[in-house]
Every structure is written in structure tokens, then in C-alpha cells.
Amino acid sequence: MAEPSLPEIFSTLLPPLQVPQEFGDRDISDAEVISKLNDWKENTARNLSNLKDLIKQVNGSKLTPQESAKIIAVTAPFEGQGPWVDAESGKLAADILSEFSEPDVPTLTHLLSQHVKPVFQSNPHPSLNLSTGRKLHRPAGGPMATQDFYESQAWKKNPGASNLVAWCVKHIKREDYDRLWYLVIPPVMTLLDDYQTYHKLQGVQIVLELLQRVPKEVLKRTGLDGLLLTSLNTCLGQLDTMETPALIRGAILASLSLILLTTDPGTSRQFDQLCNLLGEGIIGTIWLYSSGKPDSILESLEALPPLIDALGLGCCRYLKAS
């Protein structure tokens, strides 16, 4: 009897690793659903272990870009945070993904176009040209575009999608961002501009990774420097959820990184943007409206030192004479 082919093995091993959409509900109370999800988590460790053994047998370097992308797509959701991740599954996923630590462009292109894009494409970001990744001069869809963007968010039925996007961002080489930009930036902006702070925080964390790798020329040429800064500034006004402290800290650090990356030292443009972050974002928003939220104030204070360093003597304008 002939041994099963690799595609046949994949068809058995990979589907059970898809993260159930019920994990996207952060307030699950149904005992039957909880029991089903716990059973799935127990089976997942065994399935990941089998997948790890298979990859060692076939030698990961001999896999096609399409096969590699399929493996990464079901494994990357376990690298990062999520109620579907436990210590064992996280360790197994890290071991599997170590075989794909330097993915080539064909693999990343297939991963983004066939496994990430379909998840998000039913909710196109109104401020992006999806074929180029450039900022639009005016939102697509007219005055109701933003409301349409928030309706029927099918991507939320794929709770592991943000971890997959994060993995892609971390593994695109600096010189490859230009050609993959139109595929990677739409899901990043969708997360960052979501109305739920939980997803905003995911977006901010991914942006922090993005800014460590993407060339500033890509951001400036596509107009995403301004769009990202506007979205990060919006995050500073989200003051009433459990994610607020982490969101504030991340958004301040991401805004500072973006400003320093895309503006030249000593220019009025950089000075104005830094002043806006401190004056309007932190003092005029967080401190003004968070008097009863000590955790939010603390996180903003802890994020201040690098901003003060960047402003230099410019921060003197915010000192109050006694």
C-alpha cells in the first residue's frame, strides 16, 4: 500500500489546527462551548507535535512556497497571545516556525495573498488603495465608508489572524517591504483602526514591530506616515477599557518611533509633531481626562523619558512657572 502523499497528510493534519472562531468571544459563558474548546486545546498539542515530526522527516527546505505558507498559516497563531495558546502549544509552534525563520518572498507572497488577505478583504480599509497600499486622498465609499468598515467584520471569526499578521511583519526583510507593502499594510491598519481596544492594542504592537523594519521611504511615499500617526493619536483617547494602560504606552512609543523615523532631526516638522504628541496627545488628552485612572497616568509617565529626550530644550515650553 502506497504511503500517503504530502498534500494528503496536510489535509489531515492542518485543518484541526485552525483556531475555532469561538475564541474570538472574550465573554464565553456557555459551559458546553468552554468544554469543547478545552478539548480542542488538548488535541492541538498532539497535532502540533505530529506536524513537527512530519516537517523533520520531509526536511523543511524541500517544501514548496505554497506548502510552507500552509504550515505557517496554521502555526503562527500559536506564537503570541490568545486564549487558545498554552505553554505546550506555544513551545511546539516556536519549534515548527524555527524551520521557517527566513522565508523567501514567494513564500511570504503566498502567505499574505492566500492566507491573510482573504480573511480581511471583506472589510477594506476606507483610507487605503488596496492594490498599492497607498493612502487615498479621500475615503473610498463616501460618508458612510467608516460605518461600512465596522459592519460584518468577518475577520473577527479568525481570532488567530493578528498573530499571523505579526509573524509576517517580523519576518519580512527590510529590502522586501516595498514589494509586499500592498499585502501587509491593509490588515495592520484594519487592526489599528478597529473600534475595540483589544484589537487596537494588537495593531499598535504590530506597528511597533513594523517600525523597526520598514524603510522610511516606503512610509513617506505611500502616505502611511501621516495615516499611521493619526490612527495612533486616536488610540490615546481610548481611556475606558481594561486595555487602556497598555494601549496608551504602546501608542506613545509607536508615535515617537514613527516621528523620529519619518522626519529629520532639527526640522520644524519633527518639532511640531513631537510637541503635538506631548501637548495634545499626552497632556491635553490622557492627563486631562484620566484623573481617576492612575494606571493610565502611570503608563504615560513611563513612556515620557524618550519623548523628553527627543524634544530636548523644546520641552521647556511645557514647564509651569511657580
- Per-residue pLDDT of 294-306, as tens digits, reads 999 999 999 999 9
Q: Report the chain's mean pLDDT, rounded to a whole number.
A: 92
Q: Which of 101, 132, 147 is the last residue of a domain?
A: 101
pTM higher than 0.75 for the full model?
yes
Q: Which three cell numbers stand for residue 154?
A: 468577518
Residue 120 lies in a domain: yes
Question: Where in the sequence is the domain holding 81, given as residue range(s)?
Answer: 1-19+38-101
Do 71 and 115 fall within a single domain? Answer: no
Q: Is residue 205 part of a domain?
A: no
Angle between helices 197-211 and 161-171 (to 10 degrees): 10
Evaluate whether residue 77 is within a structural domain: yes
Kindly state whether residues 84 and 108 are assigned to the same domain.
no
Question: By the 8 A CB rule, do 28 and 22 touch?
Answer: yes
Across 169-193, average pLDDT: 98
The Cα–Cα gap between 155 and 195 comes to 14
Residue ending a domain, among 138, 161, 195, is 195
Shared domain check, 134 and 74: no
Q: Check whether 259 has a pLDDT greater than 60.
A: yes
Same domain, 3 and 80: yes
Q: Are residues 122 and 190 in the same domain?
A: yes
Which among 83, 101, 119 is the end of a domain? 101
Nearest CA to 175 out of 233, 114, 108 is that of 108
Residue 140 has pLDDT above 80, yes or no: no
Q: What is the pLDDT of residue 285?
A: 96
* Per-residue pLDDT reduced to its tens digit, 24-80: 988 888 999 999 999 999 999 999 999 999 888 886 568 999 999 999 999 999 999
Same domain, 111 and 188: yes
Residue 298 forms part of a structural domain: no
Residues 9 and 96 reside in one and the same domain: yes
Number of structural domains the chain divides into: 2
147 domain residue, yes or no: yes
Does residue 152 fall inside a structural domain? Answer: yes
Residues 95 and 10 in one domain: yes
Strands (E), 95-223: 128-129, 134-135
Task: Give a yes or no: residue 244 inside a domain.
Answer: no
Residue 144's pLDDT is 59
Residues 64 and 106 in one domain: no
Higher pLDDT, 145 or 295: 295
